[in-house]
Amino acid sequence: MTDAQDTLPDLQDTDQPSDQELKSKRKKSLGFVAFILVLALAIYLVWQLFFNDSVSTDNAYVGAETASITSMITGQVADVLVSDTHAVKKGDVLVRVDSRDAEIAVAQAKAELVKAQRQYKQTQANSSALNSQVFVSDDGIHSAIAQVAKAKAELDKAKDELNRRQQLSVSGAISKEELSTAQSAVNNAQAGYDLTQAGLAQAKSSQKAAQSSLAANDALIKGANENSTPDVLVAQAKLNQALLDLERVDIKAPFDGVVTSRKIQVGQRVAPGMVLMVVVPISQLYVDANFKESQLENVRIGQKVVLTSDLYGDGVEYHGSVVGFSGGTGSAFALIPAQNATGNWIKVVQRLPVRIRLDPKELAEHPLRVGLSMEAKINLSSK
């Protein structure tokens, strides 16, 4: 029993490592950790120097400058020639509006133009008539002047006769009746003279009125002809507008694309500005890639981008270039922007949309649609 007890402590002493062995193991562990740290640092430096030449994101989506097709006139839809998903070419007729109202407007505008041209001719004829009146009034004035001179002479003669009779009446050579008759003759001559002067003034007034009418009439047609007078130009403009409205009864595609969001039916009444459908230019698509703000330090306009679509997978690559940066983050232009000044603020890495132009040839080979998800990788070493 005593021998077993003596042997057990010896075995326990043999199993426990010595202090020297513990220090050795600790040094090896610290060396291994240091090696791992140095290796990680080396890998990081190599990556920074040789492989950190790109940034990527999968927060990217296809976009396009779509066109909302609207009516420029008021009328009833006579025919709708396209439906959603239809491919259209620039100039293809999408919708036809009933043209009868526009045709009536054109006929009315043409009649107004003819009326304005005839009014110009009438105004021109009135100028000739008024010019003749001015010449006639000259003759009337000359005649009135002659009448005034005649009446003046008769008045002077009557006054002379009255003076002689007044001298004779002092000596009693003539009767009072003769003197009274002479006085009446003077009064009559004076009245005639006043009447001729009034006639002369009236003739001059008539001439001034004719001259004013002639000047006003000439002002309407001065420096113009039948096609350039203001009334004719206004009527011509109304006719041009009516013809344009008649042309607009055929609502056409502004560019090549695909029809979507058709909202119009035959028989429906349309008004200017009413959205009928949307045309998406699938050959002019772009990508808005939302990069983290920490990724944009070295991103520049013109750098090359490689993109893949979830639609086709990694087997199809698109090649594009950076064309610009958005004016702000998505949260900055949200309907209800974040209020970071509150006490509940939590810092969130923001993303800024980067516009990427796609190659039209690649789009023609592998068409995309607005809203599809993309992955974008910008080559920072490219120019």
Report the CATH number that the domain containing residue 263 is assigned in CATH: 2.40.50.100
Residue type, 4: A
pLDDT, averaged in runs of 10, over the chain (383 residues): 48 58 75 83 68 83 93 94 94 95 95 88 74 72 83 82 75 73 83 84 79 71 74 92 95 94 93 94 92 90 94 93 89 72 75 93 92 93 76
Out of 279, 298, 328, a domain closes at 279
Helical residues (DSSP H) of 172-229, grouped into ranges: 176-221
Q: How far apart are CA 101 and CA 315, in angstroms?
A: 56
Are residues 159 and 137 located together in one domain of the fold? yes
**Residue 76 belongs to some domain of the structure:** yes
**Residue 178 belongs to some domain of the structure:** yes
Are residues 148 and 256 located together in one domain of the fold? no
**What's the alpha-carbon Rg for the chain, to the nearest Å?**
53
Number of domains in the chain: 2
306 touches 55 (CB < 8 A): no
pTM above 0.85, yes or no: no
Q: Which two tokens stand for residue 27?
A: 């040094």
Q: Which DSSP string do the residues of 109-176 spell out, in sequence order? A: HHHHHHHHHHHHHHHHHHHHHHHHHHHHHHHHHHHHHHHHHHHHHHHHHHHHHHHHHHHHHHHT-S-H
Task: Report the pLDDT value the prediction gives residue 50, as an integer from 0 to 100.
Answer: 57
Task: Report the pLDDT value the prediction gives residue 51, as an integer from 0 to 100.
Answer: 57
Task: Report the pLDDT value the prediction gives residue 52, as an integer from 0 to 100.
Answer: 62
Task: Report the pLDDT value the prediction gives residue 16, as an integer from 0 to 100.
Answer: 58
Are residues 233 and 172 located together in one domain of the fold? yes
**Residue 234 belongs to some domain of the structure:** yes
**Residue 112 belongs to some domain of the structure:** yes
The residue range of the domain holding 88 is 67-98+248-279
